[in-house]
Homo-oligomer: A and B are copies of this chain.
Amino acid sequence: MSIITNKEVLLNNARTSRSRRAREAVLGALEAALESSDPYRLILDHVRRSGSRLVVDSESLDLDDFKCVYVIGGGKAGGAMAEALETLLGDRITGGLVNVLENTGSRYRTTRVVLNEAGHPIPTEDGLEGARRMLEIAERASGEDLIICLISGGGSAMMTVPREGVDIEDKQSVTRLLLHAGADIGELNTVRKHLSTFKGGWLAKKAEPATVLSLILSDVIGSPLDTIASGPTAPDNTTYRDAVQVLHKFGLWDQVSSSVRETLEMGLRGHLPETPKPGETAFLKVKNIVIGDNRRACLAAKKNLVEQGFNAQFLTSYLKGEARQAGLLLASIACEIISSGNPVSKPAAVIVGGETTVTVTGRGIGGRNQEVALSAATAISRTDGVSFASIGTDGIDGPTDAAGAIVDGMTVARAQEINLDCWRFLKENDSYSFFSELKDLVITGATGSNVNDVAVLCVV
């Protein structure tokens, strides 16, 4: 069965053979992107065992150098990653514990690694307990041991251990206040890392002198190691001073709980240790390896399109900004391809990745990917042989059951036939209702992975 479960419907919605070909190419490329970001496959693709050697991309370790091999970590892809790793290493794994999403533990089969269920996005006591046990494993490990750490999106909430004196509600309340005030992910993490004993490199610090190999599936644009799951095994560049300044910047210093203020003030006065910094010995034996991210998914889509005979161009994995504007811009490239064969000649494909945002002003139902697609549809109207789709690689675009949507040059006309006005749906942020009517939602179900969004444009 196809990864996109309604693929036949989407192909049959094409009005011309050229549009059908374009749709087919787009959907094939998106399936390649989804396949490439499957966590189970990613482990098997990136990690090889050759005799006693464990090879991960360009890194290589000799398992015979280690007495014990522990597997810890967590995130939405934790279960699949742990299962795949057991398939590879079997009883060479001494033991370990990985936090997986609530109500999904039974989906994965492991015998050596305990799968512990943790809440998301609100941390649960079980999740905390699991993370504490990971810290114990790390602290107990000796210089002759190897710790393999599996990190994926959602790990921040699923592996949380507040500093002594700060309780979990206090930490959550800071997070909420900062998000509401408009803090970016960097500012948010600056504060959170200084209230944690797990994030901001602490896990790596506690594992010293063991060897640490972190295998990371990134859900953050640009894959900064210190940001994915708040960087438990990555050095932190921020300080207590920075954390305090962030709270002052947003006028929140007096609104956070006294335990948060006291902790940060103690840190500021040097009574609490700083997060581990770049260059510290704690990181000498730590390898952080990103095995899956948006760029890799985009490149998998590109490879697929090249195999389909397309002149394919991968533009960026840093796409951000307002969804409908991104749609216009991608459509503007379609127009240029049609008119002049720039930047690539037909059959042409353009791939972009990242994550847009939607400023909601209407009362409809939609997601950022569906809104990108709807906006693009208005700007490629009346072309033939052009198709565009955008999806969230987790299979869930906004509060909907679709991964995204697909459009072509006849989408606007097909909508008009059944009295749907694209511009009105766009205005109401009602992309889901629009594509439901046209049966052009891209449906995959939850994929168990997340490497942000991928969009593909094809012109045949």
Contact = CB atoms under 8 A, between A and B. Distances in A.
Contacts of A217: none
Contacts of A339: 222, 295, 317-318
A419 to B, nearest CB: 15
A294 to B, nearest CB: 10
A342 B316 contact: yes
Nearest to A379: B320
A322 B329 CA distance: 10
Contact of A329 (B295, B314, B319, B335): B319
18 contacts: A222-B335, A222-B339, A295-B336, A295-B339, A295-B340, A313-B343, A314-B342, A316-B329, A316-B332, A316-B343, A317-B339, A318-B333, A318-B336, A319-B329, A320-B332, A329-B329, A332-B354, A343-B343
Given A316-B335, A318-B331, A318-B339, 12 more contacts: A222-B339, A295-B342, A314-B336, A316-B333, A316-B343, A317-B336, A318-B332, A318-B336, A319-B332, A321-B325, A322-B325, A325-B325
Contacts of A179: none
A266 interface: no
Contact of A326 (B325, B343, B354): B325
Contacts of A335: 222, 316, 318
Nearest to A326: B329
- Copy total for this chain: 2
Contacts of A322: 322, 325
A45 to B, nearest CB: 18
Given A222-B335, A335-B222, A343-B343, A328 B320 contact: yes
A181 interface: no
A93 to B, nearest CB: 33
B316 A321 contact: no
Interface in A334-368: 335-336, 339-340, 342-343, 354
A272 interface: no
Contacts of A340: 295, 317
Contacts of A333: 315-316, 318
Interface string A184-222: 000000000000000000000000000000000000001
A354 B333 CA distance: 11
A390 to B, nearest CB: 14
A382 to B, nearest CB: 12
A88 B333 CA distance: 38
Given A329-B326, A329-B329, A343-B343, A336 B321 contact: no
Most chain B CB inside 10 Å of its own CB: which residue of A316, A335, A354, A379: A316
A265 to B, nearest CB: 27
Nearest to A223: B339
Given A325-B325, A325-B326, A326-B325, A314 B332 contact: no
Most chain B CB inside 10 Å of its own CB: which residue of A317, A322, A340, A342: A342
Nearest to A375: B321
Contacts of A326: 325, 329
A261 B336 CA distance: 39
A329 B331 CA distance: 13
A81 to B, nearest CB: 24
Interface in A303-319: 313-319
Closest A-B pairs by Cβ, 5 of them: A325-B325, A318-B332, A316-B336, A321-B328, A318-B335
Contacts of A320: 328, 332, 379
A315 B337 CA distance: 9
B315 A343 contact: yes
A183 to B, nearest CB: 13
A333 B354 CA distance: 11
A314 to B, nearest CB: 5
Contacts of A316: 329, 332-333, 335-336, 342-343
A322 B324 CA distance: 10
Contacts of A319: 329, 332
Interface string A413-442: 000000000000000000000000000000
Given A339-B295, A340-B295, A321 B329 contact: yes
